Chains A and B, each alone.
Chain A
């Protein structure tokens, strides 16, 4: 079937009239095109006459006519195209007149429609099909009949209706002859937007947001899961209520900015880095979010006000200012939430005699990825939060956090955790996977913390396992054991990342020990790359070097 979309446009511009027309087989033209500078009054008059003739024979139907509110004596008409009395989707014309004389015409008209205008399907049957496809019990409203231009060329007689469920809002086009689904598209797809954001470190990045009533909200429309960042605007009570499931966060709580350039670094970075982390797990492991089923991801920023740090309790400072955390059961649906600490704000932190400021925790990619990985762990091995399971839990989050950093910023990535949080590296605040001892954490099981602090030394002892990850990639010698490891090399880091991901998410269980982590990752290396492969050798040597046998 031959089909022609005729695009026409004319407008008085500059020295004269501009106007273009074109006829093409199949649907390659949907947008208006004005070739500015070409004047063609004759063609405008020609189209004017054609529109009048088409109106007289019922091929165009006047849908709206109104006075111009800005220019006197101007009127505007909108006409839609009909074929045998049936509206042609996308076929419409807007004509502007001044004292009855046409001054511009814009629009699109389809030609070459030769389909049978009599539907074989009843509207009720089409409605039932849409209801079945969408899982939505549709009301008594009946679908409308249209002539649908097809992407591949030609036309079809189609019923159109929309169905909105909790998961999606879609428009369906059902073939009025066969009952088949011709097209389906998202009702709200065009609400996605990309704005520019300035992060905590003043770096510029793209932010995937949603356009909503003249503003942009931190609700990612481009990635598969619901990925939202909420700005609590310093209202800790509201944050606690949301975390405890007392209240539900609403659109009004979403981080938002009417400007296309976002300047709140925490909102920018938290939202962007959640997306980067989702991307990493998807692209590297094929994992679909925290639960591998695209469960929603929620982050919360600004749960406290910076200036309140001076009056906040020590626990509040430790939890909501100088910390970031993933709460696996938080939220009214119990599906977990991320909270990014506000940083030290106007305060100066003193630790081990070092005075420093702490930036908003959302500004550190590895920290955001670390916390989200806790969500992955919660939905997989569900490693405990104390003693060796807790240390492995922290280690896996550090490992994935660093891996996300290498994935997104290979040129500047390193094996320090949280290096962007402060202006100076502080022992006890950051961790080094490359040289744990340099920042005061153990690099070997033989010197693990057993003093009962920090839930059994979960953060400190995590570097035993994360150092093994480092050695398996980069190779080197463990400072404590002096045992050397032949790593797979940075170019093959994906192998070790996959080994640890497989071991920690699919083989380990909640009460895993370091020895079990060794066995699980070696098994994973064999599964993925075979016995005696380079990754298996590297992982085995690495665990041995860090004293885990």
Chain B
């Protein structure tokens, strides 16, 4: 939110000036707050003649983001550009489940535990139409457009458990993990502010929100695993300007 305020304050001061650079290249590091920080998936399989259910809660906390982009002026304050961003974060998932009893129907045994860290990796190409206003030292770009996501996510595909006679309890053993990858198109909107300290070099800040909804196919589920990808990205870095 602080970034948004900063941009809103910066923009009016620069609004009267003309954008004269032809190309602007930005490289940023920052933080991404994922659009969806948790999601669940329940897999089922037949155990002891009944259906065993295992629900994994995936946690995707905010994490470091890398971003690089180029913006080309096409007319007056308008430009087109593309940015590439990358976000990777791992966090242990929590598994709960109900395992049918080997001797009795309708006597499930509850299990629960944590998985190894599950990795979420998002790469995105943000295609943008931008409007830029600039002063001698400051330029502000408001941009938006489609985003092409490629997301890979570690998914729990099976759960093992331990049990011993008389089997009235069972304990979580381990999770079988597979990486699933999905590509999806979403959208992005954002703003970028730069401050030139020389003719061709400056520093700047970025804030961008992008989002898409995805579905990972997952065996043992009726319709796969649905999650939101993208999120709020905020960062800062270096800017290069070319006439």
Contact = CB atoms under 8 A, between A and B. Distances in A.
Interface residues of A, number: 35
B116 A222 contact: no
Given A30-B176, A35-B155, A205-B105, 12 more contacts: A20-B178, A20-B180, A24-B177, A26-B116, A30-B160, A31-B157, A31-B176, A35-B218, A37-B217, A38-B181, A38-B217, A279-B103
B165 A27 contact: no
Contacts of A20: 178-180
Interface of B: 48-49, 101-105, 115-116, 154-155, 157-158, 160, 165-168, 174-182, 216-219
A194 B49 CA distance: 7
Interface string A29-50: 1110111111010000000000
A223 interface: yes
Contacts of A84: none
Contacts of B182: 38
B218 to A, nearest CB: 7
14 contacts: A21-B179, A23-B179, A24-B177, A28-B174, A29-B177, A31-B158, A31-B176, A35-B218, A36-B217, A37-B217, A205-B104, A208-B103, A275-B103, A276-B103
Contacts of A276: 103
Contacts of B101: 206
Which secondary structure characterizes the binding site on chain A? mixed
Contacts, number: 82
B178 A35 contact: yes
Interface of A: 7, 20-31, 33-38, 40, 194-196, 204-206, 208, 222-224, 275-276, 279, 282-283
B21 to A, nearest CB: 38
B179 A222 contact: no
B116 A25 contact: yes
Contacts of B167: 222
B89 to A, nearest CB: 16
A294 B48 CA distance: 24
Contacts of A208: 102-103
A346 to B, nearest CB: 32
A31 B174 CA distance: 12
Given A29-B177, A30-B176, A206 B105 contact: yes
A104 B62 CA distance: 37
Contacts of B180: 20, 35, 38
A24 B49 CA distance: 31
Nearest to A207: B103
Nearest to B224: A37
